[in-house]
Amino acid sequence: MSVAYIFPGQGSQAPGMGRELAEAYAAAREVFEEADDALGFALSRLCFEGPAEELQLTENTQPAILATSIAALRAAEGEGLPRPDFVAGHSLGEYSALVAAEVLDFSDALTLVRERGRLMKQTGEERPGGMAAVVGLDRPTLDAICAEAGAHGLIVVANTNTADQMVISGELPALDRAVGLAREQGARAVVPLRITIASHSPLMQQAALQLANVLAAIELKDPVTPMMASIQGRILTTADDIRQHMVTQLELPVEWTHSVREMIESGVDTFVEIGPGQVLSRLIRKISRDVRAMALGETELSKP
């Protein structure tokens, strides 16, 4: 058996997350206590109790998902979870993967994602944009839609989650046009996301430049477990490669389907999603029926 740990990104958050983990596992409680100390405020209370409006703020969402994911990881390790052959994460989830691979200390990762969220919010205020999920169209069709809608502003494919489930990202006039075109082309669903940030698009360039300065001051180690990059579908094995990747991933699309297939080609037959929700394990089942994909989050770990 060859195992990959995979970690979810933004969108998996919900008030109450992590509470049952912290009640059931001392190792998970310690993670939340460390998060509170590192950030200087009660992130644990925000995870456990909300309110939802405050948890949805990207500068809070990002450390909250990271902390809940690492709490689940520490709890699962205590239950005998086998060591992985790869780690990977979807966008923000790559920071959880870096902690799992011992590239980043957890406290440093918390500081980084909190600042990442703040920079993304600030950049979104300066260059407003949005995102929309599109289901039922293939990549060439969606690329053509973005090319046509590009007459109204910047618009790109930001996430390729499965062969026919993608996210587009860009300036609002172009996004509105692309949403209309996708519906005209027969998409099964087109859902504008409740977000004013055009993640994984060139609109995030300023945030990426500023994040590079923050990363320069933080120590990164070579990973003890290879990391599959979600924007390039290539294996990262050195701290220098990872440092560059974490900057460029803000602007470039998440090629999740490609990354999963690359791990399968490298021999992975079991994917373990660690953190809130089951989004990634469900996506993997759509990408390939030849592998095992399971979620190991709060619901699964807290069962008697």
Alpha carbon distance 194, 204 (integer Å)? 17
Select which of 200, 201, 230, 281 is catalytic.
200
| First-to-last C-alpha distance (Å) of the chain | 26
d(CA 114, CA 210): 13
CA 18 to centroid of chain Cα atoms: 17
What is the CA angle 84-90-91, rounded to 5?
125
281 is catalytic: no
Of 250, 256, 232, residue with least CA distance to 129:
250
Q: How far does Cα 298 stand from its chain's mean position?
A: 18
> Considering 44, 69, 91, 169, which one is annotated as catalytic?
91
Decide if 90 is catalytic. Answer: no
Q: Which positions ≥6 away from 227 have C-beta within 8 Å?
A: 86, 87, 88, 94, 97, 98, 101, 103, 235, 236, 237, 242
- Residues annotated catalytic, as ranges: 91, 200
